[in-house]
Structure 1
Amino acid sequence: MKNRIDATRTTNILRELVQIPSVNPSFEGGVPELEVADYVERFFHRLGLTVERREVKTDRPNIIGMLPGERSHSPGLLLEAHMDTVQTINMTIDPFAAVIEDGKLYGRGACDTKASLAAMLAAIEWCVENDKVPHIPVYIAATVDEEVHYQGVLDLLQIKERFSGAIVGEPTGLHAVIAHKGVVRCEIETVGIAAHSSRPSEGVSAIDAMVQVITHIREVVTPRLLAQPHPLVGAASLSVTEIAGGIAPNTIPDRCRIKIDRRTIPGEDSEQVWRELCDELNKLELGDDRASVIVHPPFVLDYTLDTSADSDIVQQLTKAACKRIGEVHTLGVPYGTDASKLAMVGIPSVVFGPGSIDQAHTEDEWVDLEQVALAADILIDVILSYGA
């Protein structure tokens, strides 16, 4: 099938996006997504599209463009991609040079996920320039803060009635991701009694109590999770990722804290998972009745994605992708995306985009430029067929 999009066009858009730094401000060297947002807003204005600028935080706006459809008042198709990237520390290339070599474009965000955004912009541009009108409105949302607190996509939930289905841009190798894990991150604290280390029996070591907690996680919780894998995303997990305790080498510690990362699978409710963990650890024997455990409220809580392979958005996307690349897989992945938040409020969502997750966040991040152009063509097919 002949390609509609010239790869030169998607390459130029992607190069311009990568050359604009948009490292999430929560990371070292971060800057607001403002300049990328301004770029996207100008892009839509040039095409004569209706544009909405939603100030999520100071200098961090979501930009939403709308391509009108034949049925202008119907809920529309949402194409969403985030503008922020992770940090550039320890990269081995110039993160913003957007160097092209051997059919690849290198730079921070090239793969995750400015390639998806470039493909979406190129697809909409082609529709406008060729006077193509979709059956229903198509919204293109460039959002902020996916890499940390996903405040950008949460802002979209305020206008959820506009959307009947969503394609969320992330590197999937042009396959369709219909399921992914959620996450619960929280601190667990053990409390003991401080004492001089020369008289340890007068105290209760919070570190010793934490050993009991970690042993329970390793020997009881992990085997239980591994025994019930999901067919697409695999097993749930619970990992201890940080630990801190004690104040001096001659003091029995009365406090010890760990941070945990609990990956949930479709069928699990993240809030319920946290509550059950609280109950389980509160009943745990810590080796001394004077010791106690506190499971603090989550500082990150995200949900799973579990979209039916038979849903219209998945069927339309996979049909369009098959025309361009042949066999297309419906996959599950272990990481999270903005799609779970949209699905949570009843918007059927699928994750799709050029590039491989193996290149995301890497020291020499890159994306295959032919895939970016193919992604744009696939999106055009979905835009023109969805809602028929």
Structure 2
Amino acid sequence: MKHPELTNEAIALLKKLIETPSFSSEEQGTAKHIENWFQQYQIPFKRTKNNIWATNLYFDEKKPTLLLNSHHDTVKPNNGYTKDPFRTTVENGKLYGLGSNDAGGCLVSLIATFTHFYHQADLQYNLVIVASAEEESSGENGLNSMLSIIPKIDVAIVGEPTLMQLAIAEKGLIVFDATVTGTPSHAAHPNTDNAIYNTIDVLKWFQEFSFKKSSAVLGDVKMTVTQINAGKQHNAVPANVNLVVDVRVNDAYTNKEIVSILQKKAPCSEIIPRSLRLNSSSIPKKHPLVQAGIALGRETYGSPTLSDQAVLSCPSLKLGPGDSRRSHTADEFIYLNEIEEGIDLYIKILEKIL
């Protein structure tokens, strides 16, 4: 173990976080545990709602600033759990519990890394750490609410489970509410304008439509109809069918461009985006932070999943211990040695640029 005290304390903190329910906007308890860490290491911190943040001891406004960020909220446990999601158990090197992989392991590893560098003078970058709330719900009181409060950020590491590989780009997200209309009628009478039947061709259009521009890192834009709702009684043809469309946006398009294309081409009566703020994000492969990871044998890739990177306007790298495929699954877990490796690699990468 390269950093035994920090690793052991980080695992101890993760166990406390797991055992404290922290659904999005209900993170008061886990925020307190994170506060206790900074108090233990005598690091001044600030709390804004359920977001905990701090800067390194020798913060210098003349230097660029690197953000270390991960979240301490969780989704609700699904019905497939066979273990208590709020009880930590360790079996065969696996630490089980809700939020262990997404993103507790990342968060405690970044907190340990920040603590390691906190007292060091003459760093090339300032460090800011934000243990953020409401990531899982893309809530208004999460990292996005902190960007006007913390110092201006020049580059960021966002802690999400990537097996400590380098996610140098991430797809954005737009959720659309679409409407297919028809003529309402009694089911007993002829109707050649049935909204539900009209939806068949619309669904086929969404299934077959493709956006022209692909990305070398993120591939194609992916569009999926994820919800459909219509009708209230068996003998009445409804006036409309409501669809929800999930669009994962690559870095070849802006969110506004996607909206413009769909509003011109989609065969719907109406298609309206819920939000345009969850943008695709990336960091140049030549950036010193990425090159530091490559020098340590890490590989680069594009991530299809959304994180708090979406609210950042600066270059950002998604990197963390754990495996994204375990996120939101029953009996979620992270390997203890992944946390050990995470802390070690975070420190080694930052040593190359700090």
What's the TM-score, normalizing by structure 1? 0.83
Aligned to 1:162: 152
Aligned to 2:329: 362
2:107–2:159 CA contact under 8 A, matched in 1: yes
Match 1:373 to one of 320, 335, 340 = 340
SS at match of 2:273: coil
Does 2:178 align with 1:188?
yes
One-letter amino acid of the structure 2 residue matched with residue 19 of structure 1: E
Aligned to 1:29: none
Does 2:2 align with 1:3?
yes
One-letter amino acid of the structure 1 residue matched with residue 264 of structure 2: D
SS at match of 1:302: coil
Does 2:246 align with 1:261?
yes
One-letter amino acid of the structure 2 residue matched with residue 293 of structure 1: S
| Structure 1 runs of 4+ with >6 Å offset | none
Alpha-carbon distance between aligned partners in 2 of 1:253 and 1:233, rounded to the nearest angstrom: 39
Root-mean-square deviation over aligned CA pairs: 2.2
SS at match of 1:158: coil
Alpha-carbon distance between aligned partners in 2 of 1:127 and 1:167, rounded to the nearest angstrom: 15
CA gap 1:300/1:104 in 2 versus in 1, 3 angstroms = farther
Alpha-carbon distance between aligned partners in 2 of 1:67 and 1:301, rounded to the nearest angstrom: 29
1:135–1:385 CA contact under 8 A, matched in 2: no
User: 1:185-224 maps to which residues of 2 (within 5 A)?
Assistant: 185-201=175-191, 204-219=193-208, 221=209, 224=210
User: Structure 1, unaligned stretches of length 5 or more?
Assistant: 26-31, 56-60, 285-291
Does 2:47 align with 1:53?
yes
Alpha-carbon distance between aligned partners in 2 of 1:190 and 1:213, rounded to the nearest angstrom: 8
Alpha-carbon distance between aligned partners in 1 of 2:94 and 2:159, rounded to the nearest angstrom: 19
Deviation per CA, 1:25-82: give whole Å up to 9, x if none. Answer: 5xxxxxx011111111222233222312112xxxxx2110111236454232210001
Aligned to 1:238: 223
CA gap 1:72/1:306 in 2 versus in 1, 3 angstroms = closer
Deviation (angstroms), 1:106: 0.5
SS at match of 1:21: coil
CA gap 1:300/1:248 in 2 versus in 1, 3 angstroms = farther
Aligned to 2:54: 65
Deviation (angstroms), 1:198: 2.7
One-letter amino acid of the structure 2 residue matched with residue 194 of structure 1: P
Does 2:13 align with 1:24?
no
Deviation per CA, 1:110-150: give whole Å up to 9, x if none. Answer: 0000101111222233345xx53334321110001111124
SS at match of 1:200: coil
2:214–2:252 CA contact under 8 A, matched in 1: no
CA gap 1:253/1:81 in 2 versus in 1, 3 angstroms = same
One-letter amino acid of the structure 1 residue matched with residue 203 of structure 2: I
Alpha-carbon distance between aligned partners in 2 of 1:52 and 1:305, rounded to the nearest angstrom: 27
Match 1:117 to one of 87, 94, 107 = 107
Deviation (angstroms), 1:160: 6.3
Deviation (angstroms), 1:278: 1.0
2:105–2:339 CA contact under 8 A, matched in 1: yes
Greater helix percent: which structure? 1
User: Structure 2, unaligned stretches of length 5 or more?
Assistant: none
Deviation per CA, 1:198-238: give whole Å up to 9, x if none. Answer: 3224x73111222221122223x1xx34x754332232221
1:135–1:384 CA contact under 8 A, matched in 2: no
One-letter amino acid of the structure 1 residue matched with residue 129 of structure 2: I
Alpha-carbon distance between aligned partners in 2 of 1:156 and 1:315, rounded to the nearest angstrom: 28
CA gap 1:306/1:123 in 2 versus in 1, 3 angstroms = closer
CA gap 1:375/1:309 in 2 versus in 1, 3 angstroms = same
Alpha-carbon distance between aligned partners in 2 of 1:115 and 1:236, rounded to the nearest angstrom: 30
One-letter amino acid of the structure 2 residue matched with residue 3 of structure 1: K
- Percent identical across equivalent pairs? 25
1:138–1:383 CA contact under 8 A, matched in 2: no
2:67–2:130 CA contact under 8 A, matched in 1: yes
Deviation (angstroms), 1:3: 1.5
Aligned to 2:167: 177
Alpha-carbon distance between aligned partners in 2 of 1:161 and 1:331, rounded to the nearest angstrom: 29
One-letter amino acid of the structure 1 residue matched with residue 279 of structure 2: Y
Does 2:278 align with 1:313?
no
Q: How many residues align?
A: 350
Alpha-carbon distance between aligned partners in 1 of 2:151 and 2:291, rounded to the nearest angstrom: 22
SS at match of 1:188: strand
Match 1:78 to one of 48, 60, 67 = 67
Aligned to 2:126: 137
Alpha-carbon distance between aligned partners in 1 of 2:61 and 2:217, rounded to the nearest angstrom: 37
SS at match of 2:217: coil
Aligned to 1:352: 319
Aligned to 1:252: 237
